[in-house]
Amino acid sequence: MIMMPTASDEERNYNAGDIICHENERPDGLFIVKEGLVEIFHQLATDEGVAEVSLGRIGARGMFGEMGIIDHQPRSASARALGPTRVVFISRLAFQKHLEDLPPWVSILIKTFVQRVRESNRRLVEVVEAADQGRLKIGNHEIIISHGDEDEEDKKF
């Protein structure tokens, strides 16, 4: 179930082409799309310059920017409005406050999902880079499902 905005949340408007958040920046909150369409993309260097890898599109009632406020890592992708777009911004502090009200195992579950999505995104970018450089090889690859969680907050569980 998607968290619906409250009166204290901030509504923001964007035009087509506006960047909503940038890859590698420190996350300060998450976004819920109220109206419009947002593209999530990653930039990578190629022989011809910078290319973009589209990771997906998010429409009304969709959410993005959540991974960084969960695992405290820089944003793994950028977000761009594809047309007139209205979002609701939920601050990191407001999100953390709600997360504290849940059982500790829920936090671990959410962080596990975030780790898996980050790893999938990283591998997707590697495949695109390899394909661009003509060195794509398909073979057996080991995927580490969990490295364990060193977050002090999760040690309560």
Span 79-99, pLDDT tens digits: 999 999 999 999 999 998 888
Confidence of residue 126 (pLDDT cuts 50, 70, 90): confident
Q: Is 71 in contact with 115 (CB distance < 8 Å)?
A: yes
Query: Letter for the amino acid at 93?
Result: L
Q: What is the pTM of this model?
A: 0.71
Give the angle subtended at the CA of 8 by the CAs of 62 and 95, to the nearest 5°. Answer: 55
Query: What is the H or E stretch that residue 96 is in?
Result: helix 92-100
Q: Which CATH number fits domain 10-137: 3.20.20.60, 2.120.10.30, 1.20.1260.10, 2.60.120.10?
A: 2.60.120.10
Q: What is the pLDDT of residues 11-68, one digit of tens each?
A: 999 999 999 999 999 999 999 999 999 999 988 877 788 888 888 999 999 999 998 8
Per-residue model confidence (pLDDT) at position 129: 75
pLDDT of 116 above 80:
yes
pLDDT of 100 above 80:
yes
> Per-domain residue ranges for the chain?
10-137
Q: Which of 8-12, 72-76, 137-141 has the lowest mean pLDDT?
A: 137-141
Residues of 106-131 as b/e, b for ≥16 C-beta within 10 angstroms? Answer: ebbebbeebbeebeebeeebeebbee
